[in-house]
Amino acid sequence: MAPHLRTDPLNIYLNDHLTGAFGGSALARRMAGTHPDPARASALRRLAQDVEQDRNDLVRIMNRLGVPVRHYRTWLGLAGERLGRLKPNGTLVRRSPLSDLIELETMRAGVEGKTALWRALRAIADRDPRLDPGELDRLTQRAHDQARLLNGWHDAVSAEVLAPHGTGHHRAAPSP
């Protein structure tokens, strides 16, 4: 491997984001597959499809820029998602409601990172003809939409999960 490929900031940056994209895509799919509310599960499946499309768009952009995909890094993203399932959540044998909150926060952090990625690429798009400013604007807007959706769910799940027992502050999380 040429030395410049190991140290090129764009190469490292895009592969770092791709690692996160693989983990985020796996998390979104798992959240969609395990959610008990049919309306929320359906919305999560749509979100998971969008996240997978964003990951595929990133790979396509990397190919256009001549940045090689570091496949071992994609496995790290998937392994990180699986390790995240082992977090202590207050229960041993069943899924904790706290897991929903932590997973939403993890997804939200990933979407914030993805938004920053698209904006960083947009900052150089006017000087690099391999990048399409319109495409990056569209991807940024989709990330903003995903963040808005996740924030709404986060507020509802927070109120449901964190409210003291017996205070009557529990409310059903709204469907998207």
The enclosing domain of 126 has a CATH number of 1.20.1260
Would you say residue 89 lies in a domain?
no
- For residues 86 and 117, which has the higher predicted lDDT (pLDDT)? 117
d(Cα 154, Cα 171) in Å, to the nearest integer?
A: 13
Q: How far apart are CA 119 and CA 99, in angstroms?
A: 30
- DSSP notation for 59-108: HHHHHHHTPPP-HHHHHHHHHHHHHHTTS--S-SSS--HHHHHHHHHHHH
pLDDT-based confidence at 40, cuts 50/70/90? confident
Q: What's the domain range around 150? A: 9-82+98-162
Q: Could you give phi then psi for residue 59, rounded to 5 degrees?
A: -60, -40
End-to-end CA distance of the chain: 47
32's enclosing H/E stretch is: helix 9-34
DSSP 3-state of 53:
helix
Q: Indicate whether 174 belongs to any domain.
A: no
Q: Is residue 47 part of a domain?
A: yes
Q: Specify if 176 maps to a domain.
A: no
Mean pLDDT for the chain overall: 81
The reply to whether 122 falls in a domain is yes
Tell me which amino acid residue 173 is.
Answer: A
Q: Is 49 left (phi over 0), alpha (psi -120 to 50) or beta?
A: alpha
The answer as to whether 91 is a domain residue is no
Asked if residue 60 is part of any domain, the answer here is: yes
Q: What's the domain count of the chain?
A: 1
Considering the entire predicted model, what is its pTM?
Answer: 0.78
Average pLDDT score over residue span 2-16: 76
Residue 119 and residue 133: Cα distance in Å, rounded? 10
3-class SS of residue 174: coil
In this model, does residue 29 exceed pLDDT 60?
yes
Residues 50-75: tens digit of each pLDDT: 999 999 999 999 999 999 987 655 54
Q: How far is it, in rounded angstroms, from Cα 87 to Cα 149?
A: 24
d(CA 34, CA 68): 34
Q: Does residue 123 sit within a domain?
A: yes
